[in-house]
Structure 1
Amino acid sequence: MAGVEPEAGPAAGTANRARLGAVAVVAAVVVVVLGVLFAGHGEPSTVDRWLVPPTADSVRGPWRQVALALDFLGEPVGSVLLVAGCAAVCLLRRRRRAAVLVVAGVGVTVGATTLLKQVVGRTIHGAGNLSYPSGHTAFLTTLAVLAALPAAGRPGVGRTAGTSLVLAAAVTAGAAMGWAEVALGAHYPTDALGGWCTALAVTPPTAWLVDRLSDRTADADGRRLR
């Protein structure tokens, strides 16, 4: 183990911690504010109605298949397969720390969205269908952020470029899954925004915690070998 970890290096990098930390704080504030505003609600907000009019038809044709495919990635079977595949790729590349981060990052995000849904209690299509925040959107955004963090922390990548890379990945994944969930009528647009912000709020801190624990474990192993 001690011979693998130094080669793999940090899973998240260190150069962008301050900026991404600030992003995480802002995202957490947005999640809380939206949660307070929509607590116990069962109808779309004014913003939701403006973005998606009640009379708008659900997506049809080929785009519906795209939406369904994206939605599957956030379902239990699809998400497990995707996470397992990402972790397997990390292990094949001898990046054990990154594999742990994929599982831990997704686990924390799923746990956070599940807890928030119970606390906020916003529903869609009747009681029992908790909608805020969108777990699907948070899930795919988390994977995108985890994929971008190591690249953003590579030597030679400036802080601005690194932060922009992480945010671009988050926006791309969040917009894609958020569109699918809204188009399929599974979530309100503000649910998707809440899921996106939830991922941004919890994923960077989780990555840094995994790095710190991994460094301590590697140091302890090194002292035992000496």
Structure 2
Amino acid sequence: MLDILLVEDDRDLAATVIQYLELEGIRCDHADNGVMALQLSQDHDYDAMLLDLNLPRLDGISVCERLRADGNDVPILMLTARDQLNDKLAGFQAGTDDFLVKPFELQELVVRVVALTRRRSGQAKVLQCADLRIDLTAHEATRGGTALKISPTGWKLLEHLLRASPAAVPRQKLEQAIWGEDVPDSNSLKVHMHHLRRAIDGDFEQHLLHTVPGFGFAIREATL
């Protein structure tokens, strides 16, 4: 079952949306202001967020900006009564993934939500696991505040692993992300993962990069 957060201050609309989503097999939490939305997002790993643009306490743009600054890559569908290009540009710049203009058909809302939940957002600019952190805008990687030296290929691998964290990423998916259909040889990924492990775990007691036998690799605080 999909698990999403609806952030909407119109309680009648929220009740209607929640009831319809539940009929479609989608579980939905509700926040009626931006501050509550941030609090719930810290406590839950939602599959998607439906975020109203105009909210009390903290507006939708600000909520989106804070989530992305914290490295939260939950896919966000922004709900708005406005259909102005400038509003959409501001939303995309803040990190939203899609827009739906009110009034909308509930059937279309479900289609958009399902499409969003098939992927995590690519809008997050900071990715983090424990004290390992990469800033995609500054192109900087740190562990415990210490800068890491990572090769271009290692950087791509690290980004893919952190976006999926704590889930494991299949070996084939990593190879395709780096080389497409032209994988150099069977040992290429192994060599690059060895160098990446030395870069991020070499001098630290807690290891974050884990091999999942027969499957692939994962970055997480402990093996599951």
TM over 0.5: no
- TM-score (normalizing by structure 1): 0.26
Taking structure 2 as the reference length, the TM-score comes to 0.26
Q: Which has the higher contact order (CA 8 A, sep 6+)?
A: 1
The answer to which structure has the higher strand fraction is 2
